[in-house]
Amino acid sequence: MAEQRIATTKVAGTWPWFFQRLSAVLLIVFLAIHIYVSHFADVGSETGEEPLITFNEVSVRLDALIYIVVDYGMLTCVLFHGLNGFRTVLFDFDWFANRKKLIDVALWVVGAVTLVWGIIILLPFINGA
């Protein structure tokens, strides 16, 4: 396994390594905003007492373009970071490392489909209220 890991670090590539770090730093920022707005800032803004976030509160927040950018930016980063991390794990196994092209295509497809999925499910919140 130790020898395999060293060998497959080369398989994974330099750009994926770089973007893994970049997305990690961005995710820290996005996550901080995400947790703050969904559990602290918006919560109870309608009644002042209601302890749960509501559809309307999310919808009002998403009237601001910056929050649409934040939400979709976070979605993009989390999908890249998660799937690229999974790719690194897979490439520690010879069976997957020997099928690099197939794995790469499969993960890009999963990532693209999930990105579209994520974009679609936020639209009712953006369009609503």
The token duo for 92 is 């520690």
Binding pattern for the stretch 54-83 against another protein, x by CB under 8 A and - elsewhere: xxx-xx------------------xx--xx
- Give the residue among 65, 66, 126 at the shortest CA–CA distance from 118: 126
Whose Cβ is closer to another protein: residue 66's or residue 116's?
116
Please work out the total of residues on this chain that contact another protein, with binding judged by CB under 8 A.
37
44 binds another protein (CB under 8 A): yes
Cβ atoms of 16 and 91 closer than 8 Å: no
Residue 24 sits in the site that holds another protein (CB under 8 A): yes
Phi-psi category of residue 98: left, alpha or beta, with phi > 0 → left and psi -120 to 50 → alpha: alpha
State the Cα–Cα distance between residues 87 and 82, nearest whole angstrom.
9
Q: Give the footprint of another protein on this chain (CB under 8 A).
A: 1-2, 21, 24-25, 28, 31, 39, 43-44, 49-56, 58-59, 78-79, 82-83, 85-86, 89, 114, 117-118, 121-125, 128-129
